[in-house]
Structure 1
């Protein structure tokens, strides 16, 4: 089996937009090698790469089997991770994978060689032919495309009101962007002044930040002319099997019984909780997030 970093599959999109759900389903494909928490902690360890090979097989058994053993396999199988600590450690200080947009930033030759060295060894050790990655928040398309010029990007988007409503419902956002700009490095002085007026208005402030994520991704995609498929989460949830077939076709991946089994095990639905939001709140979201 030949492993190559030439054309990785990279999922991007704002938080709470379906990026994790959809990418995790696709990552059941046995052609794909992805990153997990063990890799994040010990990226150069060949032992953890071998563990991934075994536990990812458990993951496949977990979706295909219907026994008690398959339940145990699902429980102990490795799960995909963004591995932000790895990306942050192997990139220079000005590239912040936790909170930075990295707008207009490209990987240096040293970063390209060291990052690719680690990822190439993982592909070889796990005997998977294709790398797959996932990032939520800023898409960092300049940096990622400088690492992987032939990458295929899948951009997951969701209705802004649903996304904002979901972000505000999480405990993490309470301490992150509910009352402050969480992601940094892409705002003009005028935009910073605008946000200061919204700081005490969580719905407007969150919509403002979501708009910047969507706007920046669009701008970077147009500037770079990337090979990108945009997937609308509402359409995916309305017809998941057709949408999944489109994603696999775009990625040049054959149909997979493991992906099909994973989809059957997961409840794929489009929450209508946003419909319970007051109309004024929904209007506030669309006022401050017109980039969708």
Structure 2
């Protein structure tokens, strides 16, 4: 296993818009036995050494449940941890002008104190849980500039989905009803002209959501190019067509060895893509591609 000075080398970081498949794909890859990731217990107690050591065993139970069809395996699966974005941790460990949950963090860099504090916690997490590599996931803005300032050698995976399917899923989710359905949810990257544009769209859920989705995707592309980010883009539709090939490409990108556990997870899960486009009126589909062109 890596020493304390190298455990944060080349973390694997998943980013992507909500309802794009980033949670599903990252959850599958995080079954890899080498990866340490963040769960709800970490988010609640990020500095608890006991929780870090417990994570070693609970993730082992999680992977054991994949290979077992027994009652014990079912119980292990029920009580196993699941990956989260750990927004409470990131908000607590960063300064007041960093809105980690809703901010694009465009042009924002972590301070030396923030980098040291973040790395201390995450190094302890990896070392005490006896893992080799860190895995992270962030939905919404990719926050590439800020994350790159902490992890300059990170391996990023950008998960995207057809815009019409993504918008349809977003506007039909309960959380979006209270977030961005009629409100510019993410902040810090819009020009005055774009803000004026959105004011004309805010009462149209489809157009307003597509407008915000487009900003997420375009900002990620711009930051990746500006910073020369080591990132691959994974299309959810390709994953549905060939899950094993997609995951294999991700592991290759991350320099991670093949995992029999991940193979088992893929066989157990019915990977399918609901064609949300077919469920939308033609006028709504046209609206989505007007404000968020497929690329």
Q: Same fold (TM over 0.5)?
A: yes
Decide which of 178, 183, 193 is 1:180's aligned counterpart.
Answer: 183
Verify: 1:170 aligned to 2:173, yes or no: yes
Unaligned runs of 5+ in 1: none
* Distance in 1, Cα, partners of 2:97 & 2:216: 19
Aligned residue number for residue 131 of structure 2: 128
CA distances 1:124-154 after superposition (whole Å, capped 9, x unpaired): 1000010000000000000000000000000
1:273 to partner: Cα distance: 2.8
- RMSD over aligned Cα, in angstroms? 0.8
- Structure 2 unaligned runs (5+)? none
User: Does 2:34 align with 1:22?
Assistant: no
- Residue 211 of structure 1 and its aligned partner are, at CA, apart by 0.3
Name segments (4+ residues, structure 1) moved above 4 Å: none
Superposition TM-score, scaled by structure 1 size: 0.99
Q: What displacement does 1:262 show?
A: 1.2
Instruction: Give the aligned partner of residue 196 of structure 1.
Output: 199
> Structure 1 CA distance, aligned partners of 2:269 and 2:80?
16
Other structure's SS at 2:157 match: strand
In terms of mean alpha carbon deviation, does 270-279 or 185-194 score higher?
Answer: 270-279
- Deviation of 1:291 (Å): 6.3
Aligned residue pairs: how many? 292
- 2:58 — aligned with what? 55
Which residue in 2 is equivalent to 1:281?
284
What's the CA shift for 1:2?
A: 1.5
TM-score (norm. length: structure 2):
0.98
* Structure 2 residue matching 1:135: 3-state secondary structure: strand
8 Å contact from structure 1 (residues 24, 80) kept in 2: yes
Q: In structure 1, the residue corresponding to 2:9 is in which secondary structure?
A: strand
Q: Distance in 2 between matches of 1:216 and 1:91?
A: 21
